[in-house]
Amino acid sequence: MIKQIKNNTDTRLSRRKRTMAWSFFFMILSVMLLPLGSYVYTDLVASAQAADNAATTNPRSNYWRAVRGGEAGYTAIKGQETNVLIQSEGENWRNLRNGPVATIGGFFIIASLLTLLIYHLKTGGMKLDNGRSGNTVTRWAIFDRVIHWTTATLFILLAITGLSLLFGRAVLIPVLGADGFAAYASLALSVHNYLGPLFVAVLVIMIVSWLKHNFINENDIKWFKAGGGGIIGNQHVSCGRFNGGEKVWFWIVTTIGLAVGITGLILDFPNFDQVRNTMQNANLIHGSLSIIWIAVAFGHIYIGTLGSEGSLDGMLTGEVDESWAKQHHDLWYEEVKDSNDESSVAGAKSSPG
């Protein structure tokens, strides 16, 4: 009897142990599975909400998606772009202007300046072989100098304002601050827009005035083959009134200058009834060609000042030293000398006595 009681007691203890073990197991399993269950629940709820939102999407959202895709809306304005609410090409224009045009253009301008700096440090520029003679020859009439300096002044002002508008956000805002740059940009834009048409008018006058002197001839080909008549190397080539480099600069001014001027007028006068896409393309062409023009202009400015001794005198006073004329434009110098001699002889014959 005692043995049977003991066996019953052992059986109850064994059941309790198994019950406790299974209870502990289910507790551990619940701790592991409950968080997973919350994820499943959240996913199901999110899916249900997404389906509900899809069924009740704001119709205005669908409308503006369609407008972005090119569907016409309604506007009160009249013109070629009536009912065009969103012009998607504007984003492409902005990315091109602030991307390749600004980035590649910036490197191009810096490369031009560095090239000129290295050249000057290495060569010191072109000097007069025999020094100044003290005798001068008239090279530029007052009309030519007025046209040149008017064009040059307007070009510099337009270059400064144009570059500051293109690179201002990256370069000037850290210096001037957002408010300071906003004030300057407003002024720069007004200066650029008002001086642009005046520059185009003066540019056309200069092109017409100097066109007859700037057609390429055999001497110019020799000048290029000789490394620019002394710019690279020491070989000098006979030249007339303008050498090959000056003629190339003239045609750069003529072609790029007119293209920049025309695109600038398109931007300056939207009442030409052009569409926005035309203005965006004009802006990209205007900016790209302007950067090329400015980079090449650095070379022209350098050669006309530090790069060639005696060159600047002509545009400042109208006179150049005879040594400069003989070294750089000997054919033109001979023409001027012969013309002066004939005038002197004619004057002597006609004078009394």
- Closest by CA to 216, choosing from 252, 181, 247, is 247
Lowest mean pLDDT among 11-15, 115-119, 158-162, 251-255: 11-15
Averaged pLDDT for residues 4-13: 56
How far apart CA 267 and CA 168 sit, in angstroms, is: 19
Counts of helices then strands in the chain (DSSP H, E): 12, 2
With vertex at residue 268, the alpha carbon angle to CA 265 and CA 271, rounded to the nearest 5 degrees, is: 95
How far apart CA 301 and CA 116 sit, in angstroms, is: 10
- H or E segment at 138? strand 136-138
Q: Are 317 and 297 in contact (CB under 8 A)?
A: no
Where does the pLDDT of residue 70 fall: very low under 50, low under 70, confident under 90, or very high at 90 and above? low
Q: What per-residue string of b and e applies to 151-170 under the rule 16 or more CB within 10 Å gives b? A: bbebbebbbebbbbbbebee
- H or E segment at 102? helix 102-123
Where does the pLDDT of residue 38 fall: very low under 50, low under 70, confident under 90, or very high at 90 and above? very low
How far apart CA 290 and CA 158 sit, in angstroms, is: 10
Kindly tell me if the per-residue pLDDT of 289 is higher than 50: yes
CA 266 to chain centre: 17
- Packing angle between helix 244-268 and helix 173-210, nearest 10 degrees? 120
Global pTM value? 0.74
How far apart CA 202 and CA 185 sit, in angstroms, is: 25
Averaged pLDDT for residues 74-96: 68
| Predicted confidence (pLDDT) per residue in 320-346, tens digit | 999 999 999 999 999 988 777 655 444
Who's near 220: CB < 8 A, 6+ residues apart?
Answer: 239, 243, 244, 247
Neighbours of 325 (CB within 10 A): 23
Q: What is the pLDDT of residue 146?
A: 97
The DSSP call for residue 212 is G
How far apart CA 260 and CA 286 sit, in angstroms, is: 5
Please count the CA atoms within 13 angstroms of the CA of 212 that sit on its side-chain side. Answer: 1
- Closest by CA to 28, choosing from 20, 38, 18, is 20
Topology classification of domain 89-350: Fumarate Reductase Cytochrome B subunit (1.20.950)
- H or E segment at 319? strand 319-321
**157 has which bridge partners?**
none
Q: Are 286 and 267 in contact (CB under 8 A)?
A: yes
pLDDT over 70, % of the chain: 70
Q: Are 229 and 236 in contact (CB under 8 A)?
A: yes
Averaged pLDDT for residues 80-99: 74
Greater model confidence, 316 or 348 = 316
Lowest mean pLDDT among 33-37, 93-97, 169-173, 174-178: 33-37
Where does the pLDDT of residue 96 fall: very low under 50, low under 70, confident under 90, or very high at 90 and above? confident
| Average pLDDT in the chain | 81
How far apart CA 118 and CA 325 sit, in angstroms, is: 27
Longest dimension (CA), the chain: 176
Q: Are 112 and 295 in contact (CB under 8 A)?
A: yes
Greater model confidence, 194 or 54 = 194
